[in-house]
């Protein structure tokens, strides 16, 4: 650019001035300044025409065609290309063929693009035209991507990256690496996609000049479940596209926002954004993208309740157009939604036709796992229409294997939770078929297959990412600094920024996971239960169901409306939380009456199937569902003083039994006290004085030391302030001397302690997503191999907590199982807020 500016200021030679304008136009494109590039190219074209230089004018038109392509103005780009081609020198004709291929690609004519770019690559001189050769490889890679030829796409993009990098064009090489991330995303490898996006920025991709890269990253974040962050990134990208003169590419951003809104359940916003994107694509003459926008728009409308015959017909046509242009996944999703809507509207023939079109995806070996899972789900729904339960179960097994296979390569827990969301839909379909058969054992098997799948895989090696560790250290320091800050708003902004960095780095962690190798049959459960009673709860539609096992007898029960259980659980938790904060003396009887009534209502609905056995003194193992994961079970009359173990799933419970028995000895207990809690140090010092072991208090209770000490320990007791985060459950934490210890920190343990007691408010809670997937501090311990976690699910007064803990550990030292020890301690001191999570039995 400096050379071009020098020529423009120094020379009066007309041809040199034309050349200078051309140089300036190309340099401006490389810098992402498209408006400036267009101005230089147009001035150069006018100067070439005045000087009577037709070949130079044609070359400038070729550059203008490239610039208009960058702007998203494909019509103008074609016009310049057509005008340029007859006058181009022979050396530039292969470049024109390359640009023609890129225009075909932009317009969604990917087969034509592949053919044109292949011809161009054969004609381009490898040594003299490496820039255009790399552009042709890049374009063909994108054409292969959009036609789902993912292996070929990866090869072309990697070759283009190598050429750009060897020529010192680092920004273009980084863009190729970013596009390889898009290939990984299309293949369903979300961790690799996120890592490649990150590497591209580190390698020199300037997202300010290339805001569309932000849109790709945001789509990956939305797929990972980070909807809020994804939306904010897309809006940022839209602003930057306008600022750098690329408003023509706003359509992709609008479309991405539509998909993001659809994932968030905001069907009105999704339909509006998709409609806006469709209009822009049509103006730009990009039929492939317009077809995708139309499909997403109809997906939103169908989910919003527009299920008329006209709407279903339009959705069917939109899915066909979408598939024709290579958008296989969105076409299958739309057909699946339309097929369900048609079935609900009584149009069974149409429903069958739509679902049947999705089924072939299950057998596509090269298809991403999520596409194969959609095919299996469609097959299961078809079999359900036919009343063929064996086919339903076979299809659901195939779908769950596809989803589980995708999660195998996801070391980041947060990614696994969202990747396994489809397991809930597959499981729900199988549970419906099992319920119609009425076999309790069959129902129990399928409820177990569909829940808590992310916890059923364990990372083989914990994260050792130094950048994640650094982000956590800086976040802790920022939280401590904010406590004495004179500018709270700025301090909170810093904390929010660092929290985002931690989440981002955690999702980039590589590695593989292994499934839990424990017996999981009904007979194995019965054998492990012994004299205890099992109650496995699940919801289907608006009804609550349960499977009970008492003395080996497996039974199915209908427990009434889900809304009833949800309302009484919310009321009970609210009243207990208010009591913990303290209420006026005259209001105490009112609160006690409210707690008693809510607890009695829940007991009548949930425990009726096993109440006679509980009254005979049996222990209870309960597998909750939905909001019941945060129910303080000890508040129910039949559970007071009763051994109650709450586990995310039966597989987790059986694994906890195995982990407890395979622990290497008991080991010395570990006692930890965090700052700012009146009773914490006194509590752990008293317990340490009786039981011995390692004591970490004051300045010794820092995150690094605590993590290294508790790794693989026997019994660990942590008394500290705790916070549960509904919005970001893996940022739930315990306060230590150097700041919060987060669930992200615990994910770095090689092996969780055998038994963990968290003497802190509310940290036993978990966020519950589709398929009863759980995320939180306590469940992170369970995921790292801890057999039993004792923690509160409601606020508990500090003064009662210390007394409960003394009694609890006394009972543990006497050899009582954890669940029984907790039950006795809470009954002795009139407490009900703690639950025993995981296994809760003997070693």
Q: Rounded distance, CA 472 to CA 688, Å?
A: 29
The tokens for 761 are: 């408010």
Average pLDDT value for the chain: 89
Alpha carbons within 13 angstroms on the beta-carbon side of residue 583 total 14
- Pairing label, strands 715-719, 670-673: parallel
Residue with tokens 């023939």: 349
Q: What HEC string does 240-263 produce?
A: HHHHCCCHHHHHHHHHHHHHHHHH
Residue with tokens 């009425």: 438
Which has the closest alpha carbon to 225: 199, 263, 189?
263
pLDDT averaged over consecutive 10-residue blocks of the chain (843 residues)? Answer: 80 80 87 86 89 89 87 84 87 84 84 89 74 88 90 95 91 93 89 91 86 88 81 86 75 90 90 93 87 96 93 95 90 95 93 95 85 93 94 94 82 78 86 95 92 78 84 94 88 92 86 73 92 95 95 95 96 91 84 94 96 94 95 95 95 90 77 90 93 94 95 94 91 95 92 92 87 90 93 85 92 94 94 94 70
Rounding to the nearest 10 degrees, give the CA dihedral for residues 820, 823, 825, 828: -130
Angle, alpha carbons 819-820-824 (nearest 5°): 120
Pure H helices in 304-420: 309-324, 328-344, 348-358, 369-385, 389-407, 413-419
Which has the closest alpha carbon to 203: 261, 162, 143?
162
Contact assessment for residue 80 and residue 65, using Cβ atoms and an 8 Å cutoff: yes
The tokens for 445 are: 């098997």
The per-residue pLDDT for 665 is 56
The per-residue pLDDT for 128 is 59
DSSP string, 416-452: HHHHTHHHHHHHHHHHHHHHHHT-HHHHHHHHHHHS-
Three-state SS at 155? helix
Buried b (16+ CB within 10 A) or exposed e, 664-678: eeebebbbbbbbebe
Q: In the beta sheet, which residues pair with residue 620?
A: 533, 644
Angle, alpha carbons 8-13-16 (nearest 5°): 60
Cβ neighbours for 185, distance < 8 A, ≥ 6 positions apart: 193, 216, 219, 220, 223
The tokens for 126 are: 């490898």
The per-residue pLDDT for 664 is 60
The whole-model pTM stands at 0.84
Which has the closest alpha carbon to 369: 221, 513, 189?
189
The tokens for 136 are: 């042709």
Q: Rounded distance, CA 580 to CA 624, Å?
A: 24
The per-residue pLDDT for 306 is 92
Pure H helices in 562-702: 562-581, 588-602, 611-615, 650-662, 680-691
Q: How big is the chain, counted in residues?
A: 843
Which has the closest alpha carbon to 575: 555, 554, 592?
592
Which has the closest alpha carbon to 651: 470, 764, 557, 515?
515
Contact assessment for residue 777 and residue 734, using Cβ atoms and an 8 Å cutoff: yes
Q: What 8-state DSSP symbol labels residue 185? A: H
* C-alpha distances in Å from residue 523, one per residue of 397, 428, 447, 526, 538: 20, 23, 16, 5, 20
Contact assessment for residue 224 and residue 197, using Cβ atoms and an 8 Å cutoff: no
* C-alpha distances in Å from residue 280, one per residue of 234, 249, 286, 324, 626: 17, 9, 9, 20, 42
Indicate if the alpha-carbon torsion angle 311, 313, 316, 317 is positive or negative.
negative
In whole angstroms, what separates CA 362 from the centre of its chain?
A: 23
Cβ neighbours for 252, distance < 8 A, ≥ 6 positions apart: 212, 215, 277, 289
Sequence-distant contacts of 611-617: CB under 8 A, at least 24 apart: 611/638, 613/533, 613/550, 613/551, 614/533, 614/638, 614/639, 614/642
The per-residue pLDDT for 238 is 86
CATH of range 309-462; options 3.10.620, 1.25.40, 1.10.490, 1.20.58: 1.25.40
Contact assessment for residue 465 and residue 195, using Cβ atoms and an 8 Å cutoff: no
The tokens for 660 are: 């407890």
Which has the closest alpha carbon to 628: 643, 606, 612?
606
The per-residue pLDDT for 843 is 57
* C-alpha distances in Å from residue 270, one per residue of 163, 231, 258, 274, 324: 40, 12, 4, 6, 23
Angle, alpha carbons 150-153-159 (nearest 5°): 145
Q: Give helix then strand counts, H and E, for the chain.
A: 37, 18
Residue with tokens 């993590």: 707
What strands lie across the sheet with 553-561, from one edge to the other?
A: 553-561, 543-550, 533-540, 620-623, 644-646, 834-838, 788-792, 755-759, 715-719, 670-673, 694-696
Which pLDDT tens digit goes with each residue over 778-836?
999 998 889 999 999 998 877 788 899 999 999 999 999 999 999 999 999 999 999 99
Rounding to the nearest 10 degrees, give the CA dihedral for residues 370, 372, 375, 376: -100
Residue with tokens 């991403």: 368
**End-to-end CA separation in angstroms for the chain:** 73
Alpha carbons within 13 angstroms on the beta-carbon side of residue 38 total 18
């Amino acid at each position: 650019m400096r050379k071009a500016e020098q020529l423009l200021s120094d020379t009066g030679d007309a041809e040199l001035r034309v050349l200078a304008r051309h140089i300036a136009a190309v340099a401006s494109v490389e810098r992402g300044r498209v408006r400036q590039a267009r101005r230089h190219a147009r001035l150069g074209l006018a100067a070439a025409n005045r000087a009577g230089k037709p070949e130079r004018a044609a070359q400038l038109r070729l550059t203008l065609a490239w610039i208009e392509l960058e702007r998203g103005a494909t019509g103008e780009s074609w016009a310049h290309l057509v005008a340029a081609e007859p006058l181009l020198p022979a050396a530039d004709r292969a470049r024109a063929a390359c640009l023609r291929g890129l225009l075909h690609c932009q317009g969604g004519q990917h087969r034509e693009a592949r053919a044109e770019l292949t011809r161009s690559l054969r004609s381009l001189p490898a040594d003299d035209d490496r820039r255009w050769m790399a552009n042709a490889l890049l374009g063909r890679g994108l054409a292969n991507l959009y036609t789902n030829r993912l292996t070929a796409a990866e090869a072309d993009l990697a070759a283009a990256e190598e050429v750009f990098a060897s020529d010192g064009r680092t920004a273009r090489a980084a863009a190729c690496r970013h596009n390889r991330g898009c290939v990984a995303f299309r293949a369903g490898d979300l961790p690799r996609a996120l890592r490649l996006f990150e590497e591209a920025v580190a390698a020199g991709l300037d997202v300010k000049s290339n805001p569309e890269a932000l849109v790709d990253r945001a789509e990956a974040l939305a797929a990972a479940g980070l909807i809020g962050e994804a939306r904010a990134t897309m809006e940022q990208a839209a602003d930057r596209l306008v600022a750098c003169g690329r408003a023509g590419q706003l359509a992709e951003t609008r479309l991405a926002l539509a998909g993001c809104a659809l994932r968030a359940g905001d069907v009105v916003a999704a339909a509006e954004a998709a409609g806006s994107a469709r209009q822009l694509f049509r103006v730009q003459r990009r039929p492939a993208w317009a077809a995708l926008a139309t499909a997403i728009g109809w997906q939103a409308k169908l989910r919003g309740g527009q299920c008329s015959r006209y709407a279903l017909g339009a959705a069917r046509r939109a899915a066909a157009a979408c598939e024709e242009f290579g958008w296989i996944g969105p076409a299958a999703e739309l057909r699946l939604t339309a097929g369900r809507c048609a079935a609900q509207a009584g149009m069974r023939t149409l429903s069958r036709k739509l679902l049947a079109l999705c089924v072939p995806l299950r057998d596509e070996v090269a298809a991403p796992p999520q596409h194969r899972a959609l095919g299996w789900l469609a097959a299961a729904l078809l079999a359900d229409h036919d009343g063929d339960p064996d086919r339903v179960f076979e299809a659901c097994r195939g779908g769950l294997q596809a989803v589980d296979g995708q999660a195998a390569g996801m070391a980041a827990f947060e990614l696994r939770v969202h990747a396994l969301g489809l397991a809930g839909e597959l499981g729900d379909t199988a549970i419906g078929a099992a319920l119609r058969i009425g076999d309790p054992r069959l129902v129990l098997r399928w409820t177990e297959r569909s829940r808590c799948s992310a916890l059923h895989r364990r990372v083989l090696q914990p994260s050792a990412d130094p950048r994640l560790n650094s982000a956590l250290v800086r976040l802790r320091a920022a939280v401590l600094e904010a406590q004495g800050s004179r500018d709270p708003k700025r301090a909170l902004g810093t904390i929010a920024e660092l929290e985002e960095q931690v989440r981002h780095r955690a999702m980039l962690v590589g590695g593989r996971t292994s499934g839990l190798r424990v017996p999981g049959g009904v007979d194995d459960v019965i054998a492990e239960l012994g004299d205890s009673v099992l109650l496995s709860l699940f919801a289907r539609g608006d009804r609550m169901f349960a499977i009970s096992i008492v003395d080996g007898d497996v039974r199915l029960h209908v427990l009434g409306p889900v809304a009833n259980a949800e309302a009484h659980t919310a009321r009970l938790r609210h009243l207990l939380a208010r009591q913990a904060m303290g209420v006026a003396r005259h209001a105490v009887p009112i609160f006690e009456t409210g707690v008693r009534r809510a607890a009695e209502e829940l007991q009548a609905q949930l425990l009726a199937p096993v109440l006679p056995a509980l009254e005979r003194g049996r222990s209870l193992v309960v597998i909750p569902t939905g909001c019941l994961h945060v129910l303080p079970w000890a508040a129910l009359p039949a559970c007071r003083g009763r051994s109650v173990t709450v586990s995310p799933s039966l597989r987790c419970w059986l694994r906890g039994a195995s982990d407890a028995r395979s622990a290497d000895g008991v080991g010395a207990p570990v006692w930890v006290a965090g700052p700012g809690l009146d009773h914490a140090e006194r509590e752990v010092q008293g317990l340490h004085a009786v039981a011995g072991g390692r004591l970490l208090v004051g300045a010794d209770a820092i995150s690094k030391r605590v993590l290294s000490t508790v790794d693989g320990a026997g019994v660990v007791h942590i008394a500290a302030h705790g916070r549960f985060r509904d919005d970001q459950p893996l940022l739930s934490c315990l306060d230590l001397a150097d700041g919060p210890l987060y669930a992200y920190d615990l994910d770095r343990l090689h092996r969780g302690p055998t038994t963990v007691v968290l003497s802190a408010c509310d940290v036993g809670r978990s966020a519950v997503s589709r398929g009863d997937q759980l995320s939180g501090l306590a469940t992170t311990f369970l995921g790292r191999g801890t057999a039993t976690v004792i923690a509160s699910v409601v606020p508990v007064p500090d003064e009662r907590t210390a007394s409960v803990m003394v009694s609890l550990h006394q009972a543990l030292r006497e050899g009582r199982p954890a669940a029984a020890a907790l039950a006795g301690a809470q009954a002795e001191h009139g407490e009900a807020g703690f639950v025993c999570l995981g296994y809760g039995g003997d070693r």
